[in-house]
Structures are given as C-alpha cells and as structure tokens.
C-alpha cells in the first residue's frame, strides 16, 4: 500500500489550523507542483520543532478533482451529501483545497500556515481559516469528551485508509468530510446536566456510556452508532476540534474514512433519524454552517504530481521561487 499522509491517523494535538482555498483560473498546474512540495515542508518543520508533534494534511475538493487530475479519480469520490429535514441542515460548499495543520504549539502552526499561504497565495483565494484548540481533557465545548469511541491503534489505519483491494491507484488515500458546527451554548447551558447526558447517551464528568436500555433513541451516540448488513459497526476516524471566540463557538468536525459512504449513512441517521422519526437531539443545540468533501491522497501520489510536464506548464508563473530554505 502507498504511504499515507501522517496527519490522517495521528493522535489528537493541542492546536489546529484549517485552511480552505479555492484555486484561481488557470493556476492548477502551479497548484499541482506546489502541493507536491507540501509534505516536505511539513516534514522540515516537524523536524525543526520536534517537540510540537506537527502534522499536516493536504486534500483535494470533490468538485475540483477532475480539473486537478483529469486522468483518474478516486472511485467513490463525490460531492458533499447536502441534507435537510425540518430545521436540521447539512449545507454543502464548494472548496477546492483543504490544508490541515496541527501541532502542540500555536506558534508552530502559525509559522507553517504562513509558509503554506506564501507558497499558494498567487494562485488561490483563502475562503476560510479556522483556529481550533484542545479543550480540557479532549472535550467538545458542550463539556462532553469527544473521540472516546474513535478507532484505536491499527484500527485507525484500517478505518481511514483506502487499501490496494479497494482502489489500487488511490491506496493510502482517505475520503475526508468536514463540517463547521456552530453551537448554541446559551441554550445548551439552560438545560440540566441529566438532560445534556441524555442528548449524548454518556455521563458528562466521568464520560461513562449509558447502557443500551438507558440510552434514548435520540441520543447522539445512538444515532451515530449504526451497523451494516453484516452487523459490523460503521466506523469513521474523527479528528474534530473545538474552535471559537467570545462571539461564536463550535466544533470543526473532521472525519476520515476508506469510503465516503460511512459518513453519509451516519449523517443521514442523525438528521433524518429512524423510521419513527427519532433524530439526533444534539442538533437542537448545534447547527452545521458549512460542509465539504475531499480526498486526501497518499504521499506517493502527491510526490508524483511534480514532473517535467508540470514544470514546463508553469514556466513564467514563478514556481522557481518556491524553496524550502526558510
């Protein structure tokens, strides 16, 4: 299997920066060359600030893929599955490039983000930047620990990475979905703790899962715990982090998987609910404001983007000024 980008399966960090870009007309050849160099840039800073556990991920938007790489496309890559039911919405946005920079030092993230933007700036529009942070012992801003039931150890790779059998050409890659959720913490904080715990199906302080009998059908962990036809849990690898300031707070939801279908099935179960209309009551207190789908290709794929024909195409665009010598 090809080598995956290290950030996909990495353990959580203290700080994150998410950069979302659209590519300007006619700049794709430059972007191919630039993206091929980003893993080396991440590696260089990971080495320089070795205690910061820096990781980076580069991903290509589903709707931009064909322009970016017209010859071949990951088998299952599709636009973000927008959904709407009553006041529960999952909007979809067109974003060409996703860059995730995480580490345990905010200054390191800042330096690396600046370098990424320097590299890309003449060819992209920065659509959105989200700064995220670890909150207490890995909690969402609702106060509940997020990530407890995430796959662990080798299972992280199994869940997140495309294998040779699934799609040989894109092995080592991963299907990525993001959503920026905005919480209504004023409303959330008016409800008593037991009701909050019912919303998640777990206890708040000590993070114990409710028993099956206790767990409401509307609990988030009920709606997001779905079995496939063989009776196996449908898993995704979540790398979400809280974000916010004194005006707006929420969760930057990030999920990696070896198929985009898992995310779609879980989101459908949250928004539309079961046959009896039991939807996810967490959605009464938070709302997705954005959503986008990407593919994060392997390191081998990114390296192969740099080639002579690209270099010829980008003559005159200033690619020769991109160096790693900072």
Which of the residues are catalytic?
Answer: 146
Question: What residues numbered 13-42 form the site for ligand HEM, per CB under 6 A?
Answer: none
Binding mask 189-228 for ligand HEM (x = CB under 6 A): -----------x-x-----------------xx--xx---
Supply the DSSP symbol for 233.
B
| CA torsion, ordered 311, 317, 318, 319, to nearest 10 deg | -30
Cβ-Cβ contacts under 8 Å for 130 (sequence gap 6 or more): 16, 17, 18, 180, 243, 252
Restricting to residues 249-268, name those near ligand HEM by CB under 6 A.
251, 253, 263, 266-267
CB of 173 to ligand HEM, least distance (A): 20
Q: How far is CA 199 from CA 135, 194, 209, 218, 277, in A?
A: 20, 9, 12, 7, 16
CB of 108 or CB of 218, closer to ligand HEM: 218
Among candidates 74, 63, 11, 64, which has minimal Cα distance to 35? 64
289 belongs to the binding site for ligand HEM (CB under 6 A): no
Gap between the Cα atoms of 57 and 40, Å rounded: 12
Residue 159 beta carbon to ligand HEM: minimum distance, rounded to whole angstroms: 10
Cβ pair 4, 174 in contact under 8 A: yes
- If binding is defined by CB under 6 A, does position 140 make contact with ligand HEM? yes
* Residue 149 within binding range of ligand HEM, rule CB under 6 A: yes
Contact 184, 276 (CB under 8 A): no
Q: Name the residue number minimizing CB distance to ligand HEM.
A: 149
Least distance (Å) from ligand HEM to the CB of residue 138? 9
Q: Residues in the site for ligand HEM, rule: CB under 6 A?
A: 140, 142, 144-149, 179, 181, 200, 202, 220-221, 224-225, 236, 251, 253, 263, 266-267, 286
């Amino acid at each position: 299997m090809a080598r995956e980008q290290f950030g996909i399966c990495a353990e959580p960090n203290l700080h994150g920066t998410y950069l979302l870009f659209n590519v300007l007309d006619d700049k794709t050849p430059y972007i191919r060359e630039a993206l091929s160099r980003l893993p080396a840039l991440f590696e260089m800073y990971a080495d320089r600030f070795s205690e910061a556990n820096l990781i980076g991920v580069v991903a290509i938007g589903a709707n931009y893929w064909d322009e970016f790489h017209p010859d071949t496309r990951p088998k299952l890559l599709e636009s973000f599955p927008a959904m709407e039911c009553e006041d529960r919405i999952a909007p979809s946005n067109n974003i060409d490039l996703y860059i995730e920079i995480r580490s345990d030092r905010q200054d390191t993230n800042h330096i690396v983000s600046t370098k990424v933007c320097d590299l890309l700036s003449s060819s992209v529009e920065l659509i959105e930047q989200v700064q995220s942070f670890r909150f207490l012992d890995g909690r969402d801003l609702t106060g509940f620990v997020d990530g407890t039931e995430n796959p662990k150890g080798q299972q992280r790779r199994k869940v997140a990475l495309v294998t040779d059998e699934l799609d040989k050409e894109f092995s080592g890659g991963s299907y990525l979905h993001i959503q920026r959720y905005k919480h209504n913490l004023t409303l959330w904080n008016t409800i008593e703790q037991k009701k909050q715990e019912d919303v998640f199906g777990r206890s708040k302080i000590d993070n114990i899962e409710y028993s099956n009998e206790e767990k409401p059908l509307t609990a988030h962990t009920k709606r997001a715990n779905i079995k496939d036809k063989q009776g196996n849990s449908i898993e995704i690898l979540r790398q979400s982090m809280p974000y916010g300031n004194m005006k707006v707070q929420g969760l930057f939801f990030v999920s990696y998987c070896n198929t985009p279908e898992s995310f779609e099935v879980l989101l459908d179960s949250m928004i539309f609910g079961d046959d009896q209309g039991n939807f996810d009551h967490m959605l009464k207190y938070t709302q997705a404001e954005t959503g986008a789908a990407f593919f994060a290709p392997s390191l081998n794929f990114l390296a192969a983007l740099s080639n002579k024909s690209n270099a010829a195409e980008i003559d005159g665009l200033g690619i020769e000024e991109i160096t790693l010598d900072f």
